[in-house]
Structure formats: structure tokens, C-alpha cells
Amino acid sequence: INILAIESSCDETSAAVIKDGRIYSNFIANQTVHEQYGGVVPELASRAHQENIVPVVDQALKTAGIATSDLTAIAFTQSPGLIGSLLVGSCFAKAMALALNLPLIAVQHMDAHVMANFIEAPTPAFPFLCLTVSGGHTQIVLCKDYLHMEIIGKTLDDAAGEAFDKSAKLLGLPYPGGPLIDKYAQLGNAHRFKFTEPQIPGLDFSFSGLKTGILYFLQENLQKDPLFIEHHLHDICASIQERIVSILLNKLRKAAQETGVRQIGIAGGVSANSGLRKAILAMGAAQGWQVFIPKFEYCTDNAAMIAITAHYKYLAGEFVGLDVVPSPRT
């Protein structure tokens, strides 16, 4: 089974080739045009996808040593994401499926983030509990099988990635600020400043209170010291990261206790965060979990995760017609 997979839901254009469940190539074109706007500009993202998609697919096929005539299926991200971005990938995938007379596989982007845990051994056994933390979503997902996932907890407002990015913006850092907070946090004292933890019942999350708390904290301190951020950047970043990570992991521990699941993983862009990676390993050791963390390149948006999901859909015979339509929502 040779599948070409395409991801274009946000601002990464990516293509991957998977042969019999093994990734042979995974190319990602990052769009830098958005930096100057402090966030992804949908209109510019669509255009950049249109520009990148042919070279990216070409590179993925060449690196995998695969001719289009060797392909057995074409897969693409159907939802969720920016509609203009999704349209580029879906139209391209449809055109290839039509031209090569191949079956088409539609993949849900958030399922694919979870499936990043199944790209390389050791892979989780089922049931598997995954904390998916990305730019637009924060979910606790109970996986009964490769293709059966149940969301048992989610954010009521901002996503974890947004909490990182919006905090970074308040600190005057460029977009996306998550990786920068991570970098500066490594040089800081996480217990220097205390941000409050929201009291949300059940397995749901909330990050908007933290954002407001940080805003007031900065306003107050900047009044006393106009250079407060410059003087304390490392400690502020470390303290913010510590709080976001503890909000995430306290709910994950609760979910593990309630479900009794001990195969636990993380996924999504924020799972690249070094504080989260360290903290979940420590919690896993204390709780007796087997912890799974995808490789860095499989955390943020990539087509390899679309490819592994498509592989299992292929085995289950889950194909879609050429009239399939992408959707901005799940």
C-alpha cells in the first residue's frame, strides 16, 4: 500500500509518502509571510499553499523513490482548518486521484495529531489516552482503536497554543510566541511568579482567565518598573509555562484516574514544549503510566500524521467520493 498524503489545514504545506505503514518522506513548507502580521492571514495562507503544493509533493515522491504510477491511494486533510487552505489541498488530492484513477481518503486533522503517536515504535496499546494540544484545540481523547476516538475533555475558550501565543504577545514577542516562551523558560525560575489555576469542573479546560491574569500582572508591574518585562523575561516565561503545563497535566491525571487508562500520550504543536515533555514523563513515572511523545517533526502540522491515519483508513476501506467537501469545523 503506497499512499501520498497532503496536509494544508493552516499555514504549513506538507506532503508525505507512506509505504505499508512506514513513512518514507515527509516534507513541510513553512509560511513565513504571516510573521509580520502577528498571526496567520487566511488569504495569504491559501496563496502560499497554491505556490508550495506542487514542489512539496514532488519532493515527497522523489525522496520516497516513488513514481505516481506506484501509488495506491491519495489522502488529504478534510477538516478542521482554514477553508481556503483546506480547498487547495483537497482540490489537489482530488485532481491526482482523478488523473491516476486512485481511491481518495479524507482525514480529520485532530485525529491525525493523535495518530502521530503511531508513526514510530514503540506505539501505544488500546485503550490509549491522548492530550492533544495545538494552536486551535485542547482535547483529552480516549482512543479505543485507530479509527475510534472519543473526546472526553476540551477547552471552553482558548486553546493551549493560543494561551502560549497570546501570553507571548503580551510580552511583546513575535508570532508564534509558543516556541519563544519555551526557549526563555529554560533560563528562568518557574516559581518566581504565581498565576492562578482556573477552577473548571470535569475534564474541560479554560485559559482565558490566565490570559487576563497575565495582562493585569504586567500592567501593575510595568507601572512600578517600565523595564519589568526586560528585567524578568526568563522568570515570567518560566512561570507562565509552568502554569499552562500544570493546568494541562492536572486534567490529564484526572482523566487517567477516571478511565483507568495507563497508556498515555501527547500530540499537537504544544507537545513540542520542553516543559510539557519533561513534566509528563515525571507524572507518568509517578503514576505508573507508559508515556508516548511524538518526535518533534510529528508534533506540529505535518503530512506524516495524515499518512499514518490514511493507512489505517485504507485497511478499513474508508474511502470518499470525488464530491467530498472540506469543512472548517470538525
Residues of this chain that bind Mg ion (CB under 5 A):
10-11, 301
53, 74, 75, 272: which one binds ligand ATP (CB under 6 A): 272
Give 15's strand partners.
6, 27
Number of residues interacting with ligand ATP: please give it, by CB under 6 A: 23
- Residue 99 CA to residue 54 CA, distance in Å, equals 15
Alpha-carbon dihedral sign for residues 31, 32, 33, 39: positive
Binding mask 3-42 for ligand ATP (x = CB under 6 A): ------xx--------------------------------
Residue reference for cell 509505504 = 19
Does 161 participate in binding ligand ATP (rule CB under 6 A)? yes
Specify the 3-state DSSP secondary structure of 100: helix
- 165 contact choice in ligand ATP, Mg ion, Fe ion, none (CB below 5 to 8 Å, kind-dependent): ligand ATP
Least distance from ligand ATP to the Cβ atom of residue 131, Å: 13
Pairing of strands 2-7, 73-79: parallel
Least distance from Fe ion to the Cβ atom of residue 133, Å: 10
Lookup: cell for 118? 503511531
- Residue 299 CA to residue 13 CA, distance in Å, equals 15
Does 134 participate in binding Fe ion (rule CB under 5 A)? yes
Q: Which is nearer to ligand ATP, 19 or 188 (CB)?
A: 188
Q: 132 a known binding residue?
A: yes
Instruction: Give the C-alpha distances (Å, rounded to integers) separating 180 from 58, 173, 272.
Output: 32, 8, 12
Residue reference for cell 518598573 = 225
Contact footprint for ligand ATP (CB under 6 A): 9-10, 81, 109, 113, 134-137, 161, 164-165, 176, 178-179, 182, 268-270, 272-273, 300-301
* Positions at the binding site for Fe cation: 109, 113, 301
